[in-house]
Amino acid sequence: GPYTITYFAVRGRCSALKIMLADKGQEWKEVVVDFPDWMKGSLKGTCVFGQLPKFQDGDLVLFQSNAMLRHLGRNHDAYGHDGKEAALIDMMCDGVEDLRLKYIKMIYQEYDTGKDAFIKDLPNHLDKFEAVMTKNKTGFLVGNKSSFADYNLFDLLLNLVVLSSTCLDSFPSLKSFVGKMSAQPKIKAFLDSDAYKKLPINGNGKQ
């Protein structure tokens, strides 16, 4: 395929888009950057916001993982049927981003002191996604097929289940969503692959 992903050797902010690419039957190249090399600064200096991931689609170069998801949504028919669905998909993706940022902050800045409080507060965030998923009835957040927001939510939920194995037990729609997404043959093959399994979720080894 025309896609190249440049990132550190973690799942992190590339996992959702790789799951999406896998489900869409796409191939991609990967450039893995090790942290000592990154610290030298020459690649960082070429990144629009000084950070990875970097995503290339031919001569288009993108930074910001959610912009990458949106681009793939446009390219692979995962951005709703019309402008209204697209707006709702954007909204849900931003909601996923809010929760992902809380997760990342806890993992990198306050794992030892904040993990228990994060898990305790998690239902107050998951119930919002549960309500949307239950109301929509199709097994997806918006409309009747998977959008980039679904892949983003799915990836985050996989991380949250690693953090707290029971966190979805009181959210049947989310639990069924994770079960169904995980069982999609192309997604399952990707999640079972060494390429996926060998990568830690986060760069500091915490999960």
* Contact status: 170 vs ligand GSH (CB under 6 A): no
Nearer to ligand GSH, 8 or 177 (CB): 8
Nearer to ligand GSH, 51 or 109 (CB): 51
DSSP string for 33-102: --HHHHHT-TTGGGSTTS-S-EEEETTEEEESHHHHHHHHHHHTT-S-SSHHHHHHHHHHHHHHHHHHHH
The single residue among 46, 51, 144, 193 that binds ligand GSH, judged by CB under 6 A, is 51
* Contact status: 13 vs ligand GSH (CB under 6 A): yes
Tokens representing 93 are 């993706």
Q: Which stretch binds ligand GSH (CB under 6 A): 45-53, 87-95, 153-161, 176-184?
A: 45-53
Q: Give the contact letters, 65-94, x = binds to ligand GSH (CB under 6 A), - = no.
A: xx----------------------------
The single residue among 17, 21, 52, 168 that binds ligand GSH, judged by CB under 6 A, is 52
The single residue among 3, 12, 133, 143 that binds ligand GSH, judged by CB under 6 A, is 12
Reduce the DSSP state of residue 6 to 3 states and report it.
strand
Identity of the residue numbered 143 = G
**Nearest to 143, CA basis, from 203, 90, 105:** 90
**Nearest to 33, CA basis, from 9, 65, 66, 68:** 9
* Contact status: 202 vs ligand GSH (CB under 6 A): no
Going from the C-alpha of 66 to that of each of 9, 98, 117, the distances in angstroms are 19, 12, 27
Tokens representing 40 are 């030298």
* Contact status: 95 vs ligand GSH (CB under 6 A): no
Phi, psi angle pair for 27, to nearest 5°: -110, 160
The single residue among 64, 75, 164, 176 that binds ligand GSH, judged by CB under 6 A, is 64
DSSP 8-state secondary structure symbol assigned to residue 27:
-
* Contact status: 20 vs ligand GSH (CB under 6 A): no
Q: Which stretch binds ligand GSH (CB under 6 A): 60-68, 69-77, 86-94, 160-168?
A: 60-68
List interacting residues with ligand GSH (CB under 6 A): 12-13, 44, 51-53, 64-66
